[in-house]
Structure formats: structure tokens, C-alpha cells
Amino acid sequence: MEVILKEDVAKLGSRGDVVKVAEGYGRNFLLPRKLAIEASEGNKAVIAQMKAASVRRSAKEKAQAEELAKQFDGVSVSFQRRSGEHDQLFGSVTSGDIGDALTKKGFNVDRRKIQLHEPLKTLGEFTVPVKLHKDVTAHLKVVIEKEAVVET
């Protein structure tokens, strides 16, 4: 089955691409979620217009992402967590935690854009990539410190 993508789909293609997919994947996943439309002659004409609009929108989004990446220079977020022996944390710092900390600092970044392959589980200083646009990646400094234990 040939479909025309209306949105970027990971590992399949980007907006406006005509791709061949399995019947079930197209009919049961892409079409109901409005991620694609069937590739017919009429739809191909509509896609030409969508591609032109997409190029303009992508250029605007990239410019905004580059501006946000400049603001990330020198920004760091720090967390205080309880830890045990060998600086291992009780728990972890996840992309959701980093996203919440950035929101408190005034940055509106979706946690899914924070490229943390696995949660941070040790004390220390880490550099975490934040993918703001498909061509723009900023780097954020994350510091995890030991929480002061109050003995009673």
C-alpha cells in the first residue's frame, strides 16, 4: 500500500514523502491517526502544496530552535538526591525530572526532546543532549549532588 505522510513518522519518513507500507500498518495505524493519506492522483496534488507549506514552517521552526539553543548556553540544572555507597542514588533522575527543572527556569521543553537514553543513577556532572529540531541539538549540564542528611 502506498501512502503519503502528513507528519514525520520515526523510521518511516518525513512529511510529504510517498512510502510503501504493509496494508495493516497503513489501514490500522497511519490512516486512523491521520499520520498519512492514501496515495492517489488527487492527493499527490494536495501534497505538493503541503510540501511548500512544510518547507516554510520547517525553516521557521528551525530558526526558533536555534534561538532556544543559544539560550541554553551556560544553563545547568542541579538536583539533590539521597545516595548510598559508591555515590549510587536511591532512585534516579529522569528526563521528566530534567523537563520539570527546565520549566521552573522558564524554558518550555517537552521531556521527550531530552535525549536521555537511561535515567541518571549516580552523583556527578552530566551533559545531556536536547533535540530541539531535527537539525538542532543543544547540550544541557545536569549536576546531581548528595543531599545533606539530617541526623536526629
Same domain, 79 and 136: yes
Domain CATH code at residue 47: 3.40.5.10
Same domain, 45 and 85: no
Whether 122 is covered by a domain: the verdict is: yes
Task: Return the HEC string of 83-152.
Answer: ECHHHEEEEEECHHHHHHHHHHCCCCCCHHHECCCCCEEECEEEEEEEEEECCEEEEEEEEEEECCCCCC
Q: What percent of the chain has pLDDT over 90?
A: 18
pLDDT in tens, 58-98: 889 888 888 888 888 888 899 988 888 888 888 889 999 99
Q: Which of residues 11, 38, 65 is at a domain's end?
A: 65
Mean pLDDT of the chain: 86
Whether 152 is covered by a domain: the verdict is: no
Same domain, 110 and 53: no
Whether pLDDT at 152 is above 60: no
Same domain, 50 and 78: no
Whether 82 is covered by a domain: the verdict is: yes
User: Residue 137 belongs to what domain range?
Assistant: 74-146
Helix and strand numbers (H, E) in the chain are 3, 8
Q: H-helix or E-strand containing 27?
A: none
Whether pLDDT at 28 is above 90: yes
Number of structural domains, the chain? 2
Residue 126 confidence class, pLDDT cut points 50, 70, 90:
very high
Q: Which of residues 16, 41, 65 is at a domain's end?
A: 65
Same domain, 53 and 116: no
Q: Which of residues 48, 65, 82 is at a domain's end?
A: 65
